[in-house]
Chain A
Amino acid sequence: MTDTVDSPETSPWYRRIGPPTRYQWMTLGSVACMIGAWFLVTEFGLANELFLPHPEAVFKSFIKVATRGYQGSTLLEHVGVSLYRIMAGFGLACLVGIPLGILMGVSRSAHAVFSPAIEFYRPLPPLGLYTLLVMWLGIGEESKLALLFLAGLPGIIIATIQAVTQIDPIYVRAARSLGASRRQLLWQVYLPGAGPIILTGMRISLGFVYTVLVAAEIVAATAGIGWMIWDAAKFLLSDVVIMGLIVLGLTGVALDFTMRLIGRLLMPWTRRQRSVP
């Protein structure tokens, strides 16, 4: 149905039971190399401790923040607050972006009406936008969620438009000639056909949402993993900064993995076209 066939995202390694494949060994090896290099560089004093602390120091700060907390909240609470903000902002972006993208992909007039606003704000730097959002919405959660929402929205809309417009018109005509209603067209043709590309757009958008998280939590937050990183940086606590970045990165990987999993459950037809490694 689509061309996005044998990308690694569709490989079903999580279902596989048995020894790791060659590719999994390569992944493990690359991770091990990065950590190994980190160990060596810090062990032999090649890096200033202020910029790159020893892995042990980072691990210790992880244990400390996880058990005793950082400035009044434990690591779990910081992660929880940030994940709530990310999920709310991103979820809202999906709820608005996917329908709007389909509309803009199907209807030329909708495209003409909405695209100027989206194209205009899309390249604006988030911090510039944020000052304005704070003025409009205040220093509470609203402005933070709005920033995350706006960061996630364009990627989803653009991917959805792209996904809808590349659907083979034969499918649409065939469904129409068989008497499909508008609703049936949406649910039986457009969404299934566009699904895989929309999912890719969502994954890229989630990345954008992550990039503005620290910016969103700079203003008047007292919890959140982005705030923790920002606050620790002010006190030059680089072990906490690096620990926070690693935790943030891992939550991103976990969310991305979840999205791929959901995508595969909702769109089993994409699995058919994979090439088995």
Chain B
Amino acid sequence: MKLFTKTLTALAVSAGLASAAMAEAPKTVTVGYLNLVNAQLVTKSLGLVQKEMPGVDVKYIKVGGGGDMLRAIAADQVDFGGLGNPPTAIGVTRGLPIQGIMVLNMLDYVEAMAVRTAAGIKSFKDLKGKTLAAPFGSTTHYLLLKALADEGMDPASMKILDLRPNDIAVAWSRGDIDAAWFWEPNLNKAVKDGGHIFMTSGIMASRGYPTWDVGIVMDDFAAKYPDYVKKFLKAECAGIDFWLKNPAKTAEIIAKELELPLADATRMMKGTEMVPCSKQLTGQYLGTAATKAKSGFVETLLSTSAFLVEQERLPKQMTREQFSDFMRPDYLEAIVE
């Protein structure tokens, strides 16, 4: 309700004072981007956001993972950010002042569970007594526990460690862990070092557990500069279109941004699904302002938070309305025609 009145005010301000709002521009726009492979790297590298906002100082901050992004948001250090579905559920439940405005990417095999080939893990049952790692609170930790639950495995029958992706790479190279569910670019190091892919986030998506990253904007920024939210989305949509139309050039950009060999960048690209902005407004993703309550993203947030509540990581279950209030496809609707 609070968000609703806020929205009304924001709309009134932007409609009534359209000319004034045009004149009023933020001095700086800070974009926090996740250290993973998606079209934000293209947008950043081509300076598309800057082109949409002449005269504004556009800053990029690289953020290691969802937990760090939540802290950056809580400390009001970014205007735009990106979050996977578990951190989004956490942020919304804990009342962070954010709105979901776009689909950054759907996670396919760019996130996967690597197992040490020598450990002889053929099925989930073989994980019993083994040492696993995943960054707790991330999309992959969520999928790991979901997969174990579906297989009827007790997580207590194995050792699951909380490690960040770069620490997983170190622990893997020392032989301290037998399996890890994490993401590129570090995932590839494990695969090359005596491992192979056992399960991917894409397979889990086809089983009904999609994972994704959503682009977010801070409430205050959106209320003050609604036009700049649209400008930002225009730039990101252009980045996504570039990704879809120019895979070869995109791979070069990603290789440069992440300092990877071109072949690796190409493979990682294929493991991430980019959704063109016009398609993002369908029910599978964000839906529209009218249909968002039944959208795929709200469904995922509901089931993710139910899972986190069960895990005692979240104190309370938010309602469909509350998650629906968080999702704001209307900015995207305004620019997609």
Q: Which A residues are closer than 8 A to B by beta carbons?
A: 49-51, 70-72, 131, 134-135, 138-140, 219-222, 227, 231, 233-237
Contacts and interface: CB of A to CB of B under 8 A. Distances in A.
A134 B170 contact: yes
B74 A51 contact: yes
B313 interface: yes
Contacts of B260: none
Given A71-B312, A139-B177, A235-B314, 5 more contacts: A49-B95, A134-B171, A220-B167, A231-B162, A234-B137
A237 B315 contact: yes
Among B71, B91, B315, chain A packs the most CB atoms within 10 A around the CB of: B315
A131 B159 CA distance: 22
Interface in B88-109: 90-91, 94-96
Given A50-B74, A51-B74, A231-B162, A236 B94 contact: yes
Contacts of B95: 49-50
B163 A219 contact: yes
A222 B161 contact: yes
A71 B155 CA distance: 12
Contact of B70 (A220, A227, A234): A234
B167 A235 contact: no
A260 B264 CA distance: 59
Contacts of B167: 134, 139, 219-220
B137 A235 contact: yes
Contacts of A220: 133, 161-163, 167, 171, 176
A50 B94 contact: yes
A106 B16 CA distance: 82
Interface string B153-181: 00010011111000100110010110000
A244 to B, nearest CB: 15
Given A139-B176, A220-B163, A220-B171, A236 B74 contact: yes
Contacts of A219: 163, 167
A51 B314 CA distance: 16
Nearest to A238: B94
Given A220-B161, A222-B162, A234-B136, A138 B313 contact: no
Contacts, number: 64
8 contacts: A50-B95, A51-B74, A134-B167, A138-B171, A138-B174, A227-B162, A236-B94, A236-B96
A221 B137 CA distance: 15
Nearest to A49: B95
Interface of B: 67, 70-71, 74, 90-91, 94-96, 133, 136-137, 156, 159-163, 167, 170-171, 174, 176-177, 308, 312-315
Contacts of B136: 231, 234
A139 B131 CA distance: 11
B259 to A, nearest CB: 19
Contacts of B70: 234, 236
A273 B177 CA distance: 57
Given A220-B162, A235-B314, A131 B74 contact: no
Contacts of A234: 67, 70, 136-137
Contacts of B91: 236
Contacts of B94: 50, 236
Contacts of B170: 131, 134-135, 139
B144 to A, nearest CB: 14
Contacts of B67: 233-234
A139 B308 CA distance: 26
Contacts of A70: 312
Contacts of B156: 72
Given A50-B74, A131-B170, A235 B162 contact: no
5 smallest A-B Cβ distances: which pairs? A234-B67, A236-B94, A220-B161, A234-B137, A235-B313
A222 B177 CA distance: 15
A51 B162 CA distance: 24
Nearest to A71: B312
Contact of B90 (A134, A135, A222, A236): A236
A231 B70 CA distance: 13
Nearest to A131: B170
Given A50-B95, A134-B170, A233 B163 contact: no
Nearest to B71: A233
B163 A139 contact: yes
A221 B171 contact: no
A144 to B, nearest CB: 13
A139 B163 CA distance: 9
A219 to B, nearest CB: 6
Nearest to A140: B176
Contacts of B171: 134, 138-139, 220
B255 to A, nearest CB: 25
Nearest to A136: B174
A234 B74 CA distance: 11
Contacts of B137: 231, 234-235
A221 B74 contact: no
A139 B74 contact: no
